Amino acid sequence: MFDGLPLVALAGDKGEDIAHLLRAVYEPRYHDRSSDRTPLDTVIALLLLSTKYDFKDIQGDVIFQISRHYPLEFSKYISINDEDFPLFGVKRWECHTALLAAAFKANADVLLPPLYFVVSGFQMEVILDAANALPPECMRRLLLGREKLRRSCYTLVAYLPTHLAKGVRMKVCSEKKPCLDITIYTRAAMFVNVLRPASRKCYFSGDES
């Protein structure tokens, strides 16, 4: 008891992380869900502890804050895909693995697809180096999804010129200079570049067998 009030033991949590949570609870301006400058450690602490102790409002705010940079819609993701952009006190690409681990532990399902996608773009050696940071089941899903994505992307790129050429023959574009006629020669390379993810070491770079 302290001043007639019962004490609550918060076992297994860092004092600093608890401080972030309590400040978010009692100081309305402490956590701004629209801010990109919240330190990464604070974002992760708030996501994990708000989930653990069922602070749904804080949990929702943190998920919103993260999802602004990891949207489910691919077109929106591409529009913000600047990996050197400062985010949560570090470069954006430095957030991916840590946020994936936190989202998995917090069962934040809405965050998992884009985070799995972007982390799957790392070279295998980079993923394996982060093995200790990811829960085993999270790592398993990541590797399985990475392999499926890789096969699908290579298949799509390989057959893309054929599909575009067919579109030109069928005159699906009515422009005087058919857009598909140009796309045949440029789209495949653009597609590969678009999917280049968080690290300069990515499996589309051709340096992984």
- State residue 75's pLDDT score: 74
Helix or strand holding residue 20 (H, E): helix 15-26
Would you say residue 34 has pLDDT above 50? yes
Residue 196 CA to chain centroid, in angstroms? 13
Structure tokens, 17: 């992380």
Would you say residue 115 has pLDDT above 80? yes
Could you tell me the pLDDT band of residue 209, with boundaries at 50, 70 and 90? very low
Closest CA to 70 of 86, 61, 81: 81
- State residue 168's pLDDT score: 65
- State residue 193's pLDDT score: 47
- State residue 160's pLDDT score: 73
Per-residue pLDDT tens digits for 171-204: 666 655 555 555 544 444 444 444 444 443 433 3
> 34 φ, ψ to 5°?
-95, 0
User: What's the mean pLDDT in 15-21?
Assistant: 92
Degrees to nearest 5, angle at CA 33 with 29 and 39 = 85
Stated pTM of the model: 0.73
For helices 112-119 and 136-169, the axis angle rounded to 10 degrees is: 80
Enumerate residues 6+ apart whose C-beta is below 8 A from 164.
180, 183, 184, 187
- State residue 111's pLDDT score: 95
